Amino acid sequence: MEIKKEEKLLFLIHQHADPDAVGSAYFLQRRWSGKVASPPGPNRTAQNLLTFLDFQIEDEAEFDRFDRIVILDTPDPSQLDSFSLPEDIEKTIIDHHENSSWDENIFFRDRISCCEIVYEMVNPEKLTTKEGIALIAGILTDTSSLQRGTSRTFSILSEIMDKSGVTLDDVRSILFDRRTYSEKVARLKGAQRSSHLEVNGFIIVKTEIGAFEGSVSSYLLNGGADIALSGSENDDEFRISGRATEDVLQDDIDIGRTFKSIQEEDPEVSGGGHPGAGVLTGEGKLEKYLDLCVEKIIDEIKEKGLGKPKD
Ligand SMILES: [Mn+2]
């Protein structure tokens, strides 16, 4: 990948930006300089990180002021929908998602987080505290608090901790605040309204709530679901957050891939994510799309002949 020193760079990160997107953009912006933009609305942990870093992300961009766009942690162009990316500007995509929809200049590395990739690219001798916080925040959240990761992930993490003096507790206390009353109620209501079914030993749970879909899905996994789908509906728009346990990922369940396949069949919706966590959004009836997600997952379990013992 070739980026010239004198180039004016614009870093773009996906909508609902997470700490991995924010952390990698912050780090490269410090090292290579340039501006960072994202469609509005980072997620809550990313917002906490931005506040700590005192870092500004623009929600608009004047593309003609830049020589190159560097797109981070964003596997699908639809995640940048509110921008109209000009065709004629140089683009470089740095990403760790396996199923990418870009067809140009992808710098892909098989890593758990984008922060690992940008750290390796720069290979810095020293890190500031804020750089350490930013990079570790991305690794911590994309590994689901270190529940997954390769030996490489953990050796990079340990290098970052050594070079910056930042501890995991430092990062946790910045990212995770206590749950608000409304999130707690959403979790309880989500569980109360949920229904589940069992297919070849897999427990699939779905529920409808007003907000906090991701948090509700995580809560349902803790409660016993193998795969959880939580959806909300506002006006004509729906949003579904799907989660799967580490255990079923071993069986080649991939929520991000399933959601992406729904998008491919239905241009009204946008879907994607990781094997263990994905988001499907669009216009239409929530109930219909929740059922479609369940149906797709059941088809996959049956087609692949997957099965889990019930005890
Ligand atoms: Mn990521």
CB count, 10 Å around CB of 173?
A: 12
- Residue 130 Cα, ligand 1 centroid: separation in angstroms? 19
Nearest residue to 75 (alpha-carbon basis) of 256, 268, 277, 296: 256
* Residues 278, 256 contacting (CB under 8 angstroms): yes
Instruction: Quote the Cα angle for 249-216-150, to 5°.
Output: 30
DSSP label at residue 73? S
What's the chain's Rg over C-alpha atoms?
A: 19
- Residue 135 Cα, ligand 1 centroid: separation in angstroms? 11
Segments of the chain with pLDDT less than 50: none
Q: CATH: 2.40.160.10, 3.20.20.70, 3.90.1150.10, 3.10.310.40. Which one for 181-303?
A: 3.10.310.40
* Residues 242, 293 contacting (CB under 8 angstroms): yes
Going from N- to C-terminal start, the domains of the chain cover: 9-175, 181-303
- Residue 311 Cα, ligand 1 centroid: separation in angstroms? 34
- 186 phi/psi in degrees, rounded to 5: -60, -40
Q: Residue 201 half-sphere exposure, CB side, CA atoms within 13 Å? A: 10
- Residue 192 Cα, ligand 1 centroid: separation in angstroms? 31
Q: What is the pLDDT of residue 177?
A: 75
- Residue 20 Cα, ligand 1 centroid: separation in angstroms? 5
* Residues 117, 111 contacting (CB under 8 angstroms): yes
Nearest residue to 141 (alpha-carbon basis) of 23, 259, 28, 230: 23
Q: What is the pLDDT of residue 301?
A: 95
Straight-line distance from the first to the last Cα atom of the chain, in angstroms, rounded to the nearest whole number:
50
SS3 164: helix
Report in angstroms the alpha-carbon separations of 156 from 113, 127, 132: 11, 13, 11
- Residue 65 Cα, ligand 1 centroid: separation in angstroms? 27
- Residue 73 Cα, ligand 1 centroid: separation in angstroms? 5
- Residue 3 Cα, ligand 1 centroid: separation in angstroms? 22
- Residue 305 Cα, ligand 1 centroid: separation in angstroms? 30
What is the token pair recorded at 9? Answer: 């760079």
Residue % of the chain over a pLDDT of 70 = 100
CATH of domain 9-175: 3.90.1640.10
Give the strands of the sheet with 237-244, arranged side by side.
Answer: 195-199, 202-208, 227-234, 237-244, 277-283, 269-273
- Residue 142 Cα, ligand 1 centroid: separation in angstroms? 6
CA dihedral 130, 136, 138, 139 (to 10 degrees): 170
